A and B are shown apart, each in its own frame.
Chain A
Amino acid sequence: MPDKNNVLKGRPVVAQPARREFIARIAGTGAVVAAASLPHELFAQAAEAPKPSADPAGTVPNSAVLAEKNPALKPHSERPLTGSVTAENHNFAVTPNDRMFIRNNLLTPDLDAGKHRLTVKGLVERELTFSLDELQRSFPVVSVQGMLECAGSGRAAYVPNASGTPWPPTGGMGCPKWTGVRLRDVLRAAGIKPGTAHVAGQGGDFGVIATAAPVIRSVPLAKALEENTLIAFAMNDGPLPKIHGYPLRLVVPGWVGSASTKWVHTITLLDAPFKGTFMDSSYRIPRIAVRPGEKMPADAISTEAWPVKSMITYPAPNATFKAGKPVLIEGRAWVGEGAIEKVEVSFNEGASWQRAAINSGGDKYAWRIFSYEFWPPSAGYATVLARATDEKGNVQPIVSAWNPLGYFWNGIHRVGFMVEA
């Protein structure tokens, strides 16, 4: 180890008192979940490993989470639970709940909306606590369609491999409709003290062991005050699904998903970025690209807004078409901050590019739908590439710069399909 003492300093050996109280409180709600078995196939080969025990009380079993998902949603890991659908399963204007990606760091808590409270504290004039009803009564309720994408979305496309869950090259994102109150309204009600620089969210998820560090992430005050940054209680006009943060979550659209704290119960105003493992060791990217296999440089920066990106949602890979008829190529393009300027498609592996049509309007942080009517010049196997450009002139790269934790994959997407005579 490079600095053994430093490593050991943070070693939590016994549960922190707050953690114990919280677990006891969850257990005390009576929200005990029956120990349901996980999908058989997930554990078919688990006989040799220490058996992850039955699901702890106060959590939603993976089987119950996945039962509400489309069969196209494939888990990438079971503990913590992660999963997503690939690009061709995203051909919707608004991402349905059953296709929204899953990225837990800990277990899925089974929370009681009636007992749930949101506390705003830290650099505030007055600490405030809200029930769900109070939150909805006290502030204007707004709806926005907005992108959320896991920072590691597409990680498996990196060559050589990067450290972390191998998210498939496409699909680790979604663009549902969110309904809630603006975070800025709540922060202003509490009174933002001068010197506030970051706003941290903490959620009610907990780990298998009591020493598991809570997942706390913070965003700069400016992003917290952005009018599309919400404390959401609804997704696609219904209550948030449990896996997506029921009963309350932050929605920080356009930014890495981890900023959008699920199951949020505490919001803390800070004079600096939150100091904790989920800020200081995870979700970081080097300022200057490093050689694959190198460690994260000490001066790495926190991941924030996603770079410009697009995916082809139609046709599905290896679809078959008849020559003499057009193929209506469709896809989605987005950028974490800013606007999509154009999307181009290529049918000759990037030698030349044509401009696709983009839908205009839509919410600031929603993806744009692009389309292109392609007339195959001849029968045979065809490919389509798509690349988006944002208003600042940033263009999707052919391959994204390698980074130790495999974040921000936004390489050009390519789909092959068959045109029969």
Chain B
Amino acid sequence: MRVPPAARRVVPAVTAVMLAIGGAAVAPLSAQEAAPARTLTPGKGADLTMARCALCHEITHITRARLSRGEWQDNVRNMIERGMPIAPDEIPIVVEYLATYYNRSAAPAADPAAASAAAAQDPVQRLLGDNACLSCHGVDQKIVGPSFREVAARYAGDAGAGARIAGKIKAGGAGNWGTIPMPPHAGLSDAELAQLAAWILARK
């Protein structure tokens, strides 16, 4: 996950002028606050956390929070109760990431090793992560949508399959595999779509 410093924009805060009195609650009568980051701090588990969490809600729910490990455990459990698709072995990875990088008592800087690992990552894996594909599709396992292997099997021997799959990823759709609609991914370039389609077809 890349974190361009330019992405941290500063805007005037919603007038922070309504104050509680007493203790640390007293703040200046007008304040500027940084908008929460729209990317996660690079570190082990960042990509997985982005893929699982940003499927349903914007990532600022995480980046503006600082919570204890126990509170993050509660939050992840709560999200699983609310329908978050996550594999059992992924849960501790997400909790560990959140408790490490968005902790009340210590929020370490990005792990440079993880940042360079992300940069060196297989481009298809990064596309799958950035677009939350794996939240709904497993390689072998049906989650919300079909597994990639099922898709590859259905299109086996079809010469136009690559273009058709690329089109479906871009436009989204429903009806081929069930009633649950797949959201469109209009932001992907043709090259990225072709990369993803080729990768999926190779899962057969």
Contacts and interface: CB of A to CB of B under 8 A. Distances in A.
A289 interface: no
Interface in B94-116: 95, 104
Contact of A281 (B18, B20, B78): B78
Contacts of A15: 144, 180
Contact of A4 (B30, B91, B178, B186): B91
B165 to A, nearest CB: 17
Interface string B1-35: 11110010100001111111111110001100001
Contacts of B50: 49-50
Contact of B18 (A210, A211, A295, A413): A413
Contacts of A277: 78, 81-82
A46 B83 contact: no
Interface string B62-81: 00111110110111011011
Interface stretch (B52-60, B154-162, B189-197): B52-60
Interface in A1-37: 1-2, 4, 7-8, 10-15, 20, 23-24, 27, 35
Contacts of A27: 174, 179, 181
Nearest to B141: A13
Contacts of A349: 21
Interface in B111-166: 130-132, 135-136, 142-144
Interface string A158-179: 0111010110111100000000
Contact of B77 (A1, A24, A160, A415): A1
Closest 7 CB pairs of A and B: A53-B183, A317-B17, A277-B81, A211-B83, A295-B70, A293-B68, A411-B20
Interface of B: 1-4, 7, 9, 14-25, 29-30, 35, 38-39, 50-51, 54-61, 64-68, 70-71, 73-75, 77-78, 80-86, 88, 91-92, 95, 104, 130-132, 135-136, 142-144, 172, 174, 178-181, 183-187
24 contacts: A1-B73, A8-B80, A8-B88, A27-B174, A45-B9, A47-B7, A49-B50, A50-B50, A50-B55, A50-B131, A51-B131, A51-B187, A53-B172, A86-B14, A160-B66, A161-B65, A169-B16, A169-B19, A207-B83, A209-B136, A211-B85, A212-B82, A295-B74, A317-B17
Interface of A: 1-2, 4, 7-8, 10-15, 20, 23-24, 27, 35, 44-54, 56-57, 74, 77-80, 86-87, 157, 159-161, 163, 165-166, 168-171, 207-213, 276-277, 280-282, 293-296, 311, 317-318, 349-350, 385, 398-399, 404, 411-416
